A and B are shown apart, each in its own frame.
Chain A
């Protein structure tokens, strides 16, 4: 007797499962809100209808996704770079209200230029500081878009 092959993990199957999971999560999260009636639908009515639709679409995707590319076959060669950019951006967003705009953006740009894109460090410093200070001058001082200041009160 031949052993049963495990179900192949295709992109569409993963997407279908994710849609079902997200729809189910939205229904669970709606439990504290009134559903209301047909005459007077409550705040949970529309989200629940949408969640059920999302679960339905996920199930259809699962049901009709026989073939399609496997998850590993999609080609993830850029994923490491993408992760580095996401980590850098996340650190910058965390720092932005704490260290101020100019310091945070200069650090982010230096990291992306020198570490991720591997540009020359001196040029990276010049570009980072120039862009951070230039955009601060244009947006904050020129257009009066209030950008976060450093704890020292400037920049």
Chain B
């Protein structure tokens, strides 16, 4: 422990040196802007700015690129809360209650809680990263294909079970998302599935066009033509900060989101996204007022935002301790380190202690910088809501098109966004939740790969999922959820969702 503190002290000496501090600030600032702009996520931001770091030494380069990464995570919540356009996939869950809060005139508290939650989660998970990196990375390595398959199936069922609407409809939407996720080249056989001659579909349907269509354009189609369009909101200065009740209600979700996000972040895959979905579902289940979720519950912003940022630090565990990327962003960061002659992995701590501990210390400094940078900007961002809706919705349609095109440079993706917008509108009318489609699309390649690898390992026997203790436990939990969710439907009795919907309807009719 003393060694850790001593190394951290040396790390702070590096992180607080003016040269490194300046590049951490540049990274955080650029990252926040990248996150706020729709369509330019952390991956695009880091990739675009990677060549700019070639002239720097390894420490400055890595500190700046990491700053862009977690800066983009902070900034990504802004368009989700103000316009219901997720800047990147990890902000999808923030759209739901963040935007509902904005429509109620509480955009300021939503943005502030998102920033504070991100700061707490970011800082706390760096402590965990520092102390738990080696043992946790070892545990994550015990997750083979059967365990991964079971974990992903459980994740989908948790989301379906926690949804306030019908579990049957949520499962159907998750399955639709999984099916859409099979479009593209099958990486195990090389076959093109459902491509219809469009080479752009080789990589499948992207998360950005799907999420922007379902959430951004779908929302505009549902609201722009209403006899009473959403009101123009004129937030006052005192409304920019969360009140005492909101702070109290956000505290526990921030803590839970931090722990959950960090643990999920360690597991390779689309960790942030899964962490935010699971955090939202957990908060909804634990809430005393689950009926407020979807209508502006602060816990629905605090939990996922904290989980998102904690997962960012969690993702660094396998990257730094084992040299394994846990997602595309960490893969680019590893590439950046290798360009500068640094090989991430178990030997990095001993061979490059200055870089390793400087990087860890810079994350503390970077998170504080981001909080200082983001809080004053809340007032500026909220001014967007003063724009009359007749002017705002055309701008949102423009950003939907621009954001999707900027993310991939593909006009096919923009067409997909439009189709998904129409689908999102129709599904809203038919009372379906659209978030499970996004999760299904993201998890589809991971679930399919894990399932096929497991079956190859067991010579085609499904019993492999029951022979592995971790996988069997996770699948048993998934089965219990499935039975709990579908039994009331078969027996024709009202379950907690139906009672909630009825109570909600009564409350609205009064």
Contacts and interface: CB of A to CB of B under 8 A. Distances in A.
A45 B415 CA distance: 28
Given A22-B176, A86-B422, A80 B414 contact: no
B391 A58 contact: no
Nearest to B403: A139
B50 to A, nearest CB: 13
B191 A43 contact: yes
B40 interface: yes
A43 B189 contact: yes
A109 B191 CA distance: 41
A50 B452 contact: no
Interface string A84-120: 1110111011001100000001001100110011110
Interface string A43-68: 11111001101100110110010000
B460 interface: yes
Interface of B: 37, 39-40, 48, 168-169, 171-172, 175-176, 178-179, 182, 186, 188-189, 191, 193-194, 217, 220-227, 390-391, 393-395, 397-398, 400-402, 405-406, 409, 411, 414-415, 418, 421-422, 425, 429-432, 448, 451-452, 455-456, 459-462, 489-490, 492
B220 to A, nearest CB: 7
Nearest to B187: A43
Contact of B40 (A11, A14, A145): A145
Contacts of A37: 460
A89 B224 CA distance: 14
A125 B455 CA distance: 61
A94 to B, nearest CB: 9
A113 B390 CA distance: 7
B501 to A, nearest CB: 12
Majority SS of interface residues in chain A?
Answer: helix
Nearest to A37: B460
Contact of B175 (A38, A57, A79, A119): A57
A5 interface: no
Contact of B224 (A19, A60, A81, A108): A81
Nearest to B418: A89
Interface residues of A, number: 69
Interface of A: 11-12, 14-15, 19, 22, 26, 29-30, 33-34, 37-47, 50-51, 53-54, 57-58, 60-61, 64, 74, 76-82, 84-86, 88-90, 92-93, 96-97, 105, 108-109, 112-113, 116-119, 127, 131-132, 135, 139, 143-148
A132 B178 CA distance: 36
B276 to A, nearest CB: 24
Contacts of A22: 176, 179
Majority SS of interface residues in chain B?
Answer: helix
B47 to A, nearest CB: 11
Nearest to A54: B175
Most buried by A among B217, B222, B406, B415: B406
Contact of B394 (A41, A74, A112, A145): A112
Contacts of B169: 15, 61
A33 B401 contact: no
B456 A40 contact: yes
17 contacts: A19-B172, A33-B193, A39-B455, A43-B189, A78-B222, A78-B225, A82-B221, A82-B224, A89-B217, A89-B400, A90-B418, A93-B401, A105-B401, A108-B401, A139-B37, A145-B39, A147-B406
Given A11-B431, A85-B397, 14 more contacts: A19-B172, A19-B176, A33-B193, A34-B189, A39-B456, A46-B451, A50-B179, A61-B168, A78-B223, A81-B221, A82-B222, A105-B398, A119-B391, A139-B37
The 3 closest A-B pairs by CB, nearest first: A81-B225, A38-B460, A39-B460
A47 B429 CA distance: 27
Contact of B220 (A50, A79, A85, A135): A85
A135 B398 contact: yes
A57 B451 contact: no
A24 B3 CA distance: 62
A53 B431 CA distance: 20
Contact of B176 (A43, A54, A79, A113): A54
Given A78-B225, A80-B225, A105-B398, A117 B460 contact: no
Given A82-B225, A108-B397, A112-B394, A96 B452 contact: no
Contact of A54 (B40, B179, B432): B179
A123 to B, nearest CB: 9
Given A39-B459, A146-B409, A131 B418 contact: no
